[in-house]
Structure 1
């Protein structure tokens, strides 16, 4: 049994949205490229732009983009720009789940938080009630 991790946390799979055919794992270059393209779905990007945006080696970017395109995870224009496919709802759900995990746990990563910098504190300086409300909102989005 394998477990996915995102941002150093174990990430369970919500079964009603799980697609076993989708071979993306959080924290990989493949996942990062897909997430970037689907988060910016109105744009097409060259391999160079994606390499710079995600700070990955050029060879890794071009090889991974080709594989993603060959596997129909992303599209490509005739002049070499990669983009999100509008018909891939499964990938949109995957990226949405990544975004939710990042919103929930992303602010926990900064170990240098101080009382003078509440945005860096665990919870971003929010009360338990505010965090509970945010969690309820995220759970409602997942259930949609």
Structure 2
């Protein structure tokens, strides 16, 4: 899966669009809270096993913290991860916004004034006939 280069930080081993990235973004978007692995799994629609494995890995490399009673949380000291989370959230918002609605009315055959159209066709026919006579 391709990634945006401006979202890639060589100091951070997190690929956008992965479960690992989703967990990091979730925890760093909610820095004021700690979560049990099963709460994170339920929130992100991941399995408990996948979530626990990723959280353990993230703790080992100091990407997330864990309280004594098993709650996981983002670390305010991890500026690169906070920046990464901000970039992912900004990109998501950009793509989640509805596309601009085209305000131009569609061409409707029924709305064509047939009398004006017939008059224009006759005028053009007359111009062609006059041109051929010369």
TM-score above 0.5: yes
- Structure 1: gaps spanning 5 or more residues: 5-11, 108-120, 128-144
* RMSD (Å), alpha carbons: 2.0
Whole-Å Cα distance in 1 between the matches of residues 31 and 2 of structure 2? 28
Corresponding residue of 1:20: 10
Pick from 77, 90, 99 the counterpart of residue 122 of structure 1: 99
Deviation at 1:3, TM superposition (A): 2.8
After TM superposition, the runs of 4+ consecutive aligned structure 1 residues lying more than 4 A away are none
Whole-Å Cα distance in 2 between the matches of residues 66 and 18 of structure 1? 22
Corresponding residue of 2:61: 71
Aligned length: 103
- Structure 2: gaps spanning 5 or more residues: 104-134
Higher relative contact order (CA 8 A, sep 6+): 2
Corresponding residue of 2:25: 35
Corresponding residue of 1:3: 2
- Structure showing greater Rg: 2
Q: TM-score, normalised by structure 1?
A: 0.66
Structure with more of its chain in helix, by fraction: 2
Gap change, CA 1:32 and 1:18, over 3 Å in 2: closer
Whole-Å Cα distance in 1 between the matches of residues 68 and 9 of structure 2? 30
1:24-55 Cα distance to aligned partner (Å, 9 max, x none): 11110100000000000000000010011001
Q: Equivalent residue of 2:5, what SS?
A: coil
Corresponding residue of 1:82: 72
